[in-house]
């Protein structure tokens, strides 16, 4: 272990890829470059709010204390270390299905790339570190509420087993940042903050799209070759089909990522192509949300309220569409449509296979290969929509349902009642539908000789008890804004063990309270959230 000052930087991205020839930090179109060098803005009074001890250990760093002034300075961008090469990436993207042209890191500045204790390269990136050439007239800063959400969710998703970028630290800047949360003219000063994000790479689909859109094939090839050589080492760089193989791998990783979102009830909220990682990692936690009551049409993003393009139940289709845009961007390197189309077509098969395996595990069944098992899965999803039912609690309680035929029908169904937001709305017809599902499910368990104890254990390993419910984050945010960091760290501790019972932390696994149903920050979020 060592201190932050002992970190050794190996900046492959900036060493091997073309840089912006202009050095002045002003808004502009950047051509023939993968990035622009830029210095983080100076902050008033950086103080550590929270950090991930797991990430500290992975990076070979000593444990932190809240009063570590030196670390807070470095992780806010206020202090530069030898070997750092701060920069912002240039990329484009499709936003809500439309080409938006150049976007880029508008409020993210990468410090550089280091080697972790496992010998893997990790990029450190500050979100909210000030303006860049890609800020599009914005200030490039971030506020406490959005930063708490990003920090907590990055780590919560990791501990849930969902592919994700990570978060090393959350630092308060001591500066006031003006924000209009819902773009309605209600601008207010808010406490500023910066998250240090960590990932092997932050390269997105949009990094390729920008070069392809500009017919800059030379730099498109440089980027693709670099990504394959550094991030997809299982692909032979001399293989004539390397770009097709690369696309196929991105397709597979993306399918895996989205299935994991669906498993835990996560809604990304803004699946633009510039927010899609080529590594199949969840990236850019903006207006995300967690399903409380199961609703496939729900999106947390108020900007998407009318179209609902990025709703929970449509995330797989959007990922498929986004992959097609990546394939279009790679076409100049391949010159043939057929292998690209084959890779994109493979997505649906891969996703359906992974989804079936996921659903079988959630139900405690060996597979969904048998038609009766598929019917059980369909019934379970229908039951979730019969009345307002908490998705997380439903699956956790389903593990408690007994398959013992000697137990009466009312007692078998009883565990699920804990998941209902409006139990008074359960009439005889609805209860009969739920009972039909439970009867079919338990009969199937008996037929397959699946014992309740083993089933409960296997189901609890994939159905979390604790997820980062939006209202829990909002409570922690409001406390952090007033200077109390304890709730953020307490919530982080709970999310470290989402599948454990944690009897002393039951309050974090309860139904969403009524006050959070329509509260901004809980059910209503924007890209500024």
| Residue 181 in tokens | 């949360």
Placement of tokens 């397959």 in the chain: 448
User: From CA 404, how far away is CA 452, in angstroms rounded?
Assistant: 9
H or E stretch at 255: helix 242-264
Would you list the DSSP string of 77-116? Answer: TSS--TT---EEE--EEEETTEEEEE---SSEEEEEEEE-
Catalytic residue, from 216, 274, 284, 390: name it.
Answer: 274
| Residue 233 in tokens | 């080492």
User: From CA 448, how far away is CA 366, in angstroms rounded?
Assistant: 9
Measured torsion, CA atoms of residues 319, 321, 325, 331, in degrees rounded to the nearest 10:
110
User: From CA 79, how far away is CA 76, in angstroms rounded?
Assistant: 8
Which residues contact residue 184 at a Cβ distance below 8 angstroms, ignoring those fewer than 6 apart?
A: none
- Sign of the dihedral through C-alpha 435, 440, 442, 443: positive
Catalytic annotation present for 216: no
- Asked if 433 and 378 touch (Cβ cutoff 8 Å), the reply is no
User: From CA 376, how far away is CA 363, in angstroms rounded?
Assistant: 9
Query: So which residues are the catalytic ones?
Result: 274
């Amino acid at each position: 272990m060592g201190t932050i000052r002992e970190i050794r930087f190996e900046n492959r991205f900036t060493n091997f890829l073309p840089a912006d020839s202009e050095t002045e930090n002003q808004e502009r179109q950047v051509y023939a470059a993968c990035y622009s060098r830029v210095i983080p803005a100076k902050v008033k009074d950086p103080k550590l709010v929270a950090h991930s001890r797991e990430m500290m250990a992975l990076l070979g760093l000593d444990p932190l204390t809240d009063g570590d002034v030196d670390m807070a300075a470095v992780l806010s961008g206020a202090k530069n270390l030898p070997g750092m090469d701060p920069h912002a990436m240039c990329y484009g993207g499709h936003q809500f299905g439309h080409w938006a042209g150049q976007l880029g890191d508008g409020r993210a500045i990468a410090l550089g790339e280091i080697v972790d204790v496992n010998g893997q390269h990790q990029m450190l990136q500050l979100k909210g570190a000030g303006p860049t050439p890609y800020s599009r007239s914005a200030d490039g800063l971030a506020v406490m509420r959005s930063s708490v959400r990003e920090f907590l969710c990055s780590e919560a998703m990791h501990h849930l087993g969902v592919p994700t970028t990570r978060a090393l630290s959350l630092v308060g800047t001591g500066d006031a940042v003006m924000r209009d949360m819902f773009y309605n003219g209600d601008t207010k000063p808010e406490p500023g903050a910066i998250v240090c994000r960590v990932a092997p790479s932050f390269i997105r689909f949009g990094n390729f799209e920008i070069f392809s859109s500009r017919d800059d094939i030379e730099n498109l090839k440089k980027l693709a070759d670099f990504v394959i050589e550094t991030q997809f080492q299982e692909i032979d760089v001399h293989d004539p089909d390397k770009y097709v193989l690369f696309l196929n791998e991105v397709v597979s990783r993306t399918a895996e990522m989205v299935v994991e979102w669906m498993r835990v009830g996560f809604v990304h909220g803004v699946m633009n192509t510039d927010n899609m990682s080529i590594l199949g990692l969840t990236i850019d936690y903006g207006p995300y949300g967690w399903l409380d009551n199961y609703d496939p049409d729900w999106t947390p993003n108020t900007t998407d309220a009318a179209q609902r393009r990025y709703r929970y139940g449509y995330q797989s289709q959007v990922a498929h569409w986004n992959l097609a845009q990546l394939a279009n961007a790679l076409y100049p390197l391949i010159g043939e449509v057929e292998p690209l189309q084959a890779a994109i077509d493979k997505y649906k098969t891969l996703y359906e296979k992974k989804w079936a395996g996921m659903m079988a595990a959630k139900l405690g069944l060996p597979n969904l290969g048998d038609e009766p098992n598929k019917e059980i899965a369909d019934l379970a999803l229908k039951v979730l929509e019969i009345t307002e039912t908490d998705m997380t609690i439903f699956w956790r309680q389903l593990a408690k349902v007994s398959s013992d035929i000697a137990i009466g029908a009312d007692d078998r169904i009883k565990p699920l009642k804990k998941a209902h937001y409006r139990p008074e709305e359960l009439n005889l017809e609805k209860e009969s539908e739920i009972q039909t599902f439970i009867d079919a499910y338990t009969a199937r368990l008996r037929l397959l000789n699946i014992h309740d104890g083993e089933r409960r254990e296997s189901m609890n390993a994939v159905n979390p008890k604790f997820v980062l419910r939006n209202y829990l984050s909002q409570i922690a945010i409001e406390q952090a804004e007033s200077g109390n960091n304890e709730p953020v760290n307490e919530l982080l501790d709970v999310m470290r063990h989402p599948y454990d019972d944690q009897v002393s932390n039951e309050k974090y696994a309860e139904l969403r309270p009524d006050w959070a149903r329509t509260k901004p920050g809980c059910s209503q979020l924007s890209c500024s959230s």
